[in-house]
Structure 1
């Protein structure tokens, strides 16, 4: 093991650049997957004829596929039908599709957790179904959804490492490049990558714990 040789300024900067790409891809995927996941989860909850069934079929199909397959499909298969994405965009699209399906289930479960009595009381007071959903159900459900969503976002951030298979210049990709220079760098660089992942993910987990404590 060569910690001194592994932890040069250039190597540390290269690892930080990889972490930057990881965070960029994760944050964009989190934003879009949250929006799409909320929409899909709400559609499934409202049980709109045909649309809800089609949404459920799509969500369950994606949830039961490995993320690695979706990444391969996005980067290698889509160009065959005329949709060519850059490495970064392919990773974002794949992560968004996969995580949106996961988040939609969190949203649906959160909406279903609201007591029917509140819904009936809102409807009896003259509110329409959409008004009840927007003013009564969603505000309460979102508070209950936050902790599991944060946990899902932590998983998303870790899943960005799978995009190394399409040569996305994220943290693990850059770690592998440095490791290829000298076998004595492997343990020090992997330890550094582990520390970086831990700091980011543990910070998010602290946020989730604080949010859970507020709801107790």
Structure 2
């Protein structure tokens, strides 16, 4: 194992370039999937005729497909129907579609966890359905959703590594290029990328625990 050679300034700089791509793709996907997932989750909770059933059908299909298949479909199949995207955009779209379905279920479950007594009390005090949702149900539900949402965001960050199959120049992709140069770089590379993923994910876990403590 050649740690000195593997961790040369040039190699570390190249790894950081890939890590930046990983964080950028993850951040954009998290923001988009949270927005879309929240809208879908709220619409399903509202039980709007027809629309709720259509959304439920789409969400169940996406949730039961492998993320890798969605990545392949986005990058290789969509261009066949005229939707051509570069690698980074394809990765973001695939991750957003998959994670939106997951987050929508977290949002819907969080909303359903609010006791009916609170909803009835809000309605009896003069609030209409949407005011009750906005001022009573949603604020409480969001606090309860923090742990599962952060857990899903951590999964999303780790799932970005699957985009290596379409040559996304992320952390894992750049590490592969480095240890492809020399067999003795393999273990050092795996150790450092594991540490980098761990640091970010552990930080997110700490934030989630502190938010949970404040909620309690």
Q: TM-score range by the shorter chain?
A: over 0.9
- Normalising by structure 2, what TM-score? 0.99
SS of residue paired to 2:65: coil
Which residue of structure 1 aligns with residue 171 of structure 2? 171
Which residue of structure 2 aligns with residue 41 of structure 1? 41
Which residue of structure 1 aligns with residue 189 of structure 2? 189
Separation in 2, partners of 1:2, 1:27: 33
TM-fit CA distance, 1:123? 0.9
Separation in 1, partners of 2:212, 2:69: 33
- Which residues in structure 2 correspond to 1:149-164 (within 5 Å)? 149-164=149-164
CA deviation map 1:152-199 (0-9, x unaligned): 000000000000000000000000000110011000011010010011
Which residue of structure 1 aligns with residue 207 of structure 2? 207
Which residue of structure 1 aligns with residue 74 of structure 2? 74
Which residue of structure 2 aligns with residue 118 of structure 1? 118
- Which residues in structure 2 correspond to 1:18-33 (within 5 Å)? 18-33=18-33
CA RMSD in angstroms comes to: 0.6
- Normalising by structure 1, what TM-score? 0.99
TM-fit CA distance, 1:42? 0.5
Separation in 1, partners of 2:165, 2:35: 27
Unaligned runs of 5+ in 1: none
Aligned length, in residue pairs = 216
Which residue of structure 1 aligns with residue 9 of structure 2? 9
- Which residues in structure 2 correspond to 1:121-136 (within 5 Å)? 121-136=121-136
Separation in 2, partners of 1:194, 1:125: 53
Separation in 2, partners of 1:131, 1:212: 26
Separation in 2, partners of 1:162, 1:130: 40
Separation in 1, partners of 2:113, 2:28: 29
TM-fit CA distance, 1:146? 1.1
Unaligned runs of 5+ in 2: none
CA deviation map 1:106-161 (0-9, x unaligned): 00000001010111111111111011111111011111111110110000000000
Runs of 4+ that moved beyond 6 A: none
